[in-house]
Amino acid sequence: MTRTPTTTDEEELSELPPLDGEVDDDSEPEVEVEEESTLDGIDDTLGPHGDTELDAIDLDENEESWLSEDTDSEDLDLGAGALFDLGTEGSSVSDLEEAEGPSEGDLAGDSSEDIELDGGEEGPLAPDDELRDEDLPALDADGDGELEDAAFMDEGFSSEEPLGLPWATRPWNGVGAPLDLGSATAVACVPRGALVAARNESGASELSRVDLEGSRETLAAEGAANMQLSTIAAEGHRIAGVSSDGRLLVSHDGGCRFEPAATGIAVADALYASGTLWLRTASGGLLASSDGGRNFTRHPAAGTIAAVAKDGASAMAALVVDDGHRAVALIRCAGGANLEREPMDGPRVGAPTMLAVRGRHVAYASPSRIARQMGGGWRSYSWDGRITALAFVDEEGTLLAATYSTTEDTTALICLDAAGGASVVARIGAAPRQDDTGERLVPRGDGRVLALACDDARGVVWAVGDFGVAAFAVAPL
């Protein structure tokens, strides 16, 4: 690893050449929730959001939409180029104030020592007589003063080890063509690409289908234009979105029109699995609908549902915690209404909770710690930064954690391999833009990753945040 450049107070520049000298160059009725059993203490009631009722939408079952298209050819060339041209160096934004996030608890387990990060001073490696070109940082603007919208950084962004963790021997490359998207808030994999919820420059919400070739199709999304979606779930013609204030919207026509569903219930998360729409309510309940959100059934949990996640491509998994916020069970459903409950004795769960499941591989996290089931027991991980998203990327159990550093305003994508080793595979930073005067560069939001989606068909992971959208090719560790 190269040394961090330093400067001294005793450095002097050599005499400048003369000005003339030469320099050598080197709608249905209101939704009715069918109670399978009573859950004590559950109250999912939302405040009033209007009297709009869900209208039935007649669909031709044989009709196809882009959500049902075939996936890309297996011969698709992901290419070696990143989404944006990157410099060999970069600078973090130190003058941003980090907003206070939600309160969080810690997962029980071994704690790790805090790691002091380098302040990022630039300069020669030694007190030389001359300042060398290679000691200068790369600039984000070209010779014409035009800003490159570079949001993503590879291992060359810093010689330091992000968050004190080593770089992987094979870092992941950004793939795909540049995409003109604003601040993105949610992502879901669909045939031939990804479905992304974002806000444009004017602040209006947009729902777009994007692909690795750089194409973008903005959906009409009638009924969802003023909603900031924190979650997207998609399967076939059906799309479900959860707004930041807990409202559920569903579309039966591939995103052309959305209607409210589960009216009066505060929804925290949603996913589609084998034709069933699953909801986690804000109070920890578990609901399911087999008709696209027209009617829901409440399933017993014998505890509180702390998080839900897709288990592979077609199954659902839900994490159950007790009154002491300890993980006591994992509920799985591979299809239909048959739920399997697997008892567990996991560490305490912090809030908010993220869950990742891939077959026998199970992991959950709070913003400060990850707990992972390994060898019949549990192993905990922690490092500097805030964990914001979690996903398994292969059947071998490679776990990807997006961890945001407020000090550097960047997210490190950290891989935990099947043996428990941790390494950084990629970095993402805030996308710069010109301020209103056009005289200086300011960040567009921050470098925090808000959501991850693993696309097995193309071997990539999609990441979204204020920087927009990024795709990385999953490389073996």
Give the DSSP per-residue string, 221-275.
-BT-TT--EEEEEEETTEEEEEETTS-EEEESSSSSB-EEESTTB-EEEEEEETT
Report the distance separating Cα 185 and Cα 198, nearest Å: 6
In a domain, 4, yes or no: no
CA distances from 114 to 220, 300, 466 (A): 47, 41, 27
pLDDT at 461 exceeding the cut of 50:
yes
Task: Dump pLDDT digits (tens) for 207-262.
Answer: 999 999 999 999 999 998 778 899 999 998 999 999 999 999 999 999 999 999 99
Work out the pLDDT band at 359, boundaries 50, 70, 90. very high
155 inside domain: yes
Task: Name residues whose C-beta falls within 8 Å of residue 234's C-beta, 6 or more positions apart in sequence.
Answer: 67, 188, 189, 190, 195, 240, 272
Contact residues for 357 (Cβ-Cβ < 8 A; gap 6+): 309, 310, 311, 317, 330, 332, 363, 392
Least confident of 6-10, 169-173, 252-256: 6-10
311: its two tokens? 């288990």
Task: Give the number of domains in the chain.
Answer: 1
Looking at residue 75, its pLDDT comes to 52
- Domain annotation covers residue 448: yes
In terms of Cα–Cα distance, which of 354, 183, 360, 357 is closest to 269? 354
The reply to whether 76 falls in a domain is no
Calpha distance 252→238 (Å, rounded): 5
Helical residues (DSSP H) of 98-168, grouped into ranges? none
d(CA 201, CA 181): 9
Tell whether 251 is covered by a domain.
Answer: no
Determine, yes or no, domain membership for 421. Answer: yes
* DSSP state at residue 147: B
Nearest Cα residue to 121 out of 139, 131, 136:
136
Give the three-class secondary structure for 155.
helix
Q: Per the domain annotation, does 205 fall within a domain?
A: no
Whole-model pTM? Answer: 0.70
* Mean pLDDT of the residues in the chain: 75
47 pLDDT band, cuts 50/70/90, is: low
Q: Which of 87-101, 172-186, 230-244: highest mean pLDDT?
A: 230-244
Question: Domain containing 471: what range?
Answer: 148-193+393-477
CA distance to 216, 235, 451, per residue, from 65 (Å): 16, 11, 25
Kindly tell me the sign of the dihedral angle through the C-alpha atoms of 229, 235, 236, 238. Answer: negative
Contact 129, 12 (CB under 8 A): yes
406 lies in some domain: yes
Looking at 64-78, 384-398, 406-420, which range is the least confident one?
Answer: 64-78
